[in-house]
Chain A
Amino acid sequence: MYSLLALVACALAACNGGDGSKVEGAIEVMAFKGGYGIDMYESAAKEFQEKNPGVTVSVSGNPRVWEQIRPRMVAENPPDLMFPGWGMDHWALVEEGQLRELDSALDGPAYDGKGTWRETFDPNMLKLGQKDGKTFMLPYYIMVFGWWYDPAVFAKNGWTPPTNWDELLTLCERIKAKGVAPIAYQGQYPYYMIEGMLYPWVVSLGGVQAIVDAQNLVPGAWNSEPMLKAAEMIDTLNEKGYFLEGSTGMSHTESQTQFLNGKAAMVPCGSWMESEMKEVMPKGVTIEFMRVPVVAGGKGDPTALLVGVEPWMVPTHAKNADGAIALYKYMTSLPKAKEFVEKKGTLMAIVGSDQAKLPRVLEKPAAAVREAKTLYANQHRQWYPSMQKEIEGAITSMLNREITPKQFVDRCEAAAEKTRNDASIPKYKMSL
């Protein structure tokens, strides 16, 4: 009687793969254990298990989970659903045919049965996991890049967040006069400068096409006029002494701590800032997100926003791919997504999830996403890691004032040319 009831309940709750097939068996999930932990995946797995008798889900997580996943990919004995984290070369998995193409699942019904699963995702984010129109990786939470400041400090000093370059220069001068460094940055991880200053300014100066061309390795895109100008802007800030001294030697958390301790007035960082820094947040300090100041009258869309995702995937050799897909459908259903937003304080790639009760610090980033007419991402960082490394090295040298902005862009162009001419590197195309 009891089991019959469960069956009926199950049918009502539509607990199946979404395409009518019943989900059963064991589902193994391996997830990167970073700042958001794995507790939400564990609880989702538990609920899914209760809703689907006959299913057992095991979730394991590790801060270096990619090192555990790699040999299992080679052995063709991978987990069913995985979130391998930033240490995994995702596109190598795609190129080697190790990831299942998910388009037929995406065209199936969503978890709640309203519309297709595809429609639950923000299409801009879905695109980041596609090659040649095929989807191999699915987004979960999203990251929005901008700058951060302390509104109380700004109010007390009569400063206002700069919206454009000229305002920024004026403000920096005033901040510096107060004996505070205007800007801190995460020198040991140079992509913060690339994504927090270089890219937004290239977009502002040359339009988003300038960044699309650069990522598509169009000859001359990396030493183009906007690229050089943007590099010169960074160099100008450096030359005028607007960067916190010692930033080149600081890790992300170290430089952000200096900002929180009032040693610097602004810091470039993504929307995860609060969750990353909450343990060292001094009492009474509040932080607020702002869009990167643009160049007044620049060619680019001033609302353009740099975003990023850390994707989930189903391996080709997964033993229970249907189970994995059904579980991920559940995890990306609107109520679960809203729950993640509220508990973890991050934006999600799920349409409507920003209707959740957002933590205060997320209101500005969420508004920025809503207002943005252009969303773009740094994809060459994953596509061409060796080129990224060279660009990161070059920007570090520029920040150490060992090379000029001109030399910087020339090094970038040379790296792009090397990548372009290396037939062994698979090529990708970015589109908006």
Chain B
Amino acid sequence: MKGRGRVAFIVSFLAPAAIVYAGLVLVPLIRAFEFSMFRWRGVSNKRTFIGDENFRNLFQDRAFATALTNNLMLLVGCGVAVVALALLVAHGVRGEGRLRKILRSIYLFPQVVSVVVVAVMWQFIFNPHGLFNAGLRAVNLSKWTHTWLGESAWALPAVGVAFVWYALGFYIMLFAAGLEGIPHEVNEAAELDGSKGWHRFWRVTWPLLWSVKRVAVTYLTINVMNTFAIVYLMTRGGPDRKSEVMLTYLYEQAFVNSQFGYATALATGNFLVVMVLSLAILFVFRRNPVEARP
């Protein structure tokens, strides 16, 4: 964008947001990062400078590795589920009909209720005597019942289900908007080509959703890597760290073990992982595949 008064305009438009953000987010954030080079228990203002010791400990911390692995597994599992379901439902919310109307009015419900409510609710659903197992027993599938939140193999998937249930609405909305944004001419052209169903979806719709996908995947990554309340309230990272994620571990270090300095080092580590993932996503989605076509 060009024109007179460009610089003054840029500065005046950026300033309000930049000042508030820098003052109240960046300043405390930088102070917090600073703590990662100190031994600090977070209950007084006494700190000891220890250089990179916290970071060196990070690399030998098996719990950190476990938490990171769990986060990545959640990211892959929830990522695939969210994108697939969001696309499916996004197609569904468009047409006419009674079911679709209902669907349109409710798909955002889970996102609207607080995450605390979501976690408490799912804890009761996955309780050994909760809604889910009782339902399985009612339809004669007793052998499928599990102690969902207490068994090593099931705790993390159970948390993942609650997460997907909670987060899906936002992505449905994004994809619905994206689908709506595909110009009619494109659909008509595809119609003329005789391309249909899956084929048309893969050849036409999917590539056109480029910028929505980029937003969705980036946000999803940040979202999953920073999951806290759902895990903390449902399993507290258990059993035996089988559902531990970065932020529950970080919380433990900061507030249970009073290792505030080490916790900020963990946060820095998590931050770097998210940064790398985000950059990778930007790289994958670096070019608009539609524009790239001759």
**B-binding residues in A (CB < 8 A):** 66-67, 70, 73-74, 76, 87, 89, 92-93, 95-98, 187-188, 190, 245-251, 254, 258, 385-386, 389, 393-394, 396-397, 400, 402, 424
Contacts and interface: CB of A to CB of B under 8 A. Distances in A.
B147 interface: yes
B255 to A, nearest CB: 7
Contacts of B241: 393
Nearest to B124: A254
Interface in B241-268: 241, 252, 255-258
Label chain A's interface by main secondary structure. helix
Given A98-B44, A250-B127, A389-B256, 18 more contacts: A70-B43, A89-B257, A92-B41, A92-B43, A96-B46, A97-B44, A187-B150, A188-B150, A188-B235, A245-B147, A246-B127, A247-B150, A249-B128, A385-B257, A389-B252, A396-B239, A397-B239, A424-B39
Contacts of A67: 255
Nearest to A74: B45
Contacts of B147: 187, 245-249
Contact of B255 (A87, A245, A250): A87
Contacts of B151: 248-249, 400
Contacts of A76: 44-45
Contact of A74 (B42, B149, B252): B42
B258 A92 contact: yes
Nearest 10 pairs of A and B residues by beta carbon: A246-B128, A249-B150, A248-B150, A249-B147, A393-B240, A92-B258, A96-B44, A89-B258, A249-B149, A396-B239
Nearest to A67: B255
Contacts of A397: 152, 239-240
A188 B236 CA distance: 8
A400 B256 contact: no
Contacts of B238: 188, 190, 393, 396
B152 A402 contact: yes
Contact of B42 (A70, A248, A385): A70
Contacts, number: 100
Interface of B: 39, 41-46, 123, 126-129, 147-152, 235-236, 238-241, 252, 255-258
Contact of A394 (B42, B152, B240, B257): B240
Contacts of B239: 187, 248, 393, 396-397, 400
Nearest to A249: B150
Contacts of A402: 152, 240
B127 A89 contact: no
5 contacts: A70-B42, A76-B44, A93-B44, A96-B43, A249-B149
B256 A385 contact: yes
A258 B129 contact: yes
A87 B256 CA distance: 7
Given A393-B238, A397-B240, A400-B151, A250 B256 contact: no
A96 B41 contact: yes
A209 to B, nearest CB: 28
